[in-house]
Amino acid sequence: MEKLAPAHYPIQDLIQRRWSPLAFRDRPIPMTDLARLLEAARWSPSSYNEQPWVFLVAEKYINPTGFNKLLSCLVEANQVWAARAPVLMIGLAKNHFAHNNTVNRHAFYDLGAAVAYLTLQAMDLGIYVHQMAGFDPVKTREVAQVPSSHEPVVAIALGYYGELSSLPPNYQERERGPRNRNPLKDIAFRDTWGDSFPLP
């Protein structure tokens, strides 16, 4: 199933093809491809080159116990579909700089950029990524023994596209729904807040 972004201006092919599916196929991701995804994340830019990201990676077909441990941290509405994905990750951000121990207020931002890199690299390999805020960071910290230096920020399901029919009916409806975005006029201003940026 494809859900190409109905972009108003030409955009890069991987960006246009990327979307966040619910229906994953029961097929493992080769380790070499997982390595490429993490390598892409590694080459993301970051404030002071701090690289404040860490990923917990759970492969269902390699270690089902570890996979179920991370799966149990997701809210029920996400577990319903994410259980079928072959890989789950938790993205964590290190909240203080290494060089002076001050708060790194761009740590979440940098983690998000790294996940964006990972996501586009995944799309290039035919792997879909679905990020989730719907998980319990406190439980994640406990079950995965996360140190206080790092904050669990996002859960991520990864895998190949599966069958729409594998989803409960209400999820199928959501899966078939349109791609929606705010208009460009609302996200870009010229110089001053509220002054329209005159795109053609």
Q: Contact positions toward ligand FMN, by CB under 6 A?
A: 19-20, 78, 131-134, 154, 179
One-character DSSP codes across 5-30: ---SS---HHHHH----S-B-S-PPP
CB of 200 to ligand FMN, least distance (A): 24
Residues 199 and 39: beta-carbon distance below 8 Å: no
Report the distance separating Cα 50 and Cα 7, nearest Å.
34
In this structure, what DSSP letter does residue 179 have? P
SS3 103: strand
CB of 21 to ligand FMN, least distance (A): 8
- Is the CB of 8 or the CB of 179 nearer to ligand FMN? 179
Helix (H) or strand (E) holding 156: strand 150-159
- Is the CB of 20 or the CB of 172 nearer to ligand FMN? 20
CB of 131 to ligand FMN, least distance (A): 4
Q: Looking at beta carbons, which residue is closest to ligand FMN?
A: 134
Residues 161 and 21: beta-carbon distance below 8 Å: yes
- Is the CB of 146 or the CB of 156 nearer to ligand FMN? 156
CB of 33 to ligand FMN, least distance (A): 20
- Is the CB of 16 or the CB of 47 nearer to ligand FMN? 16
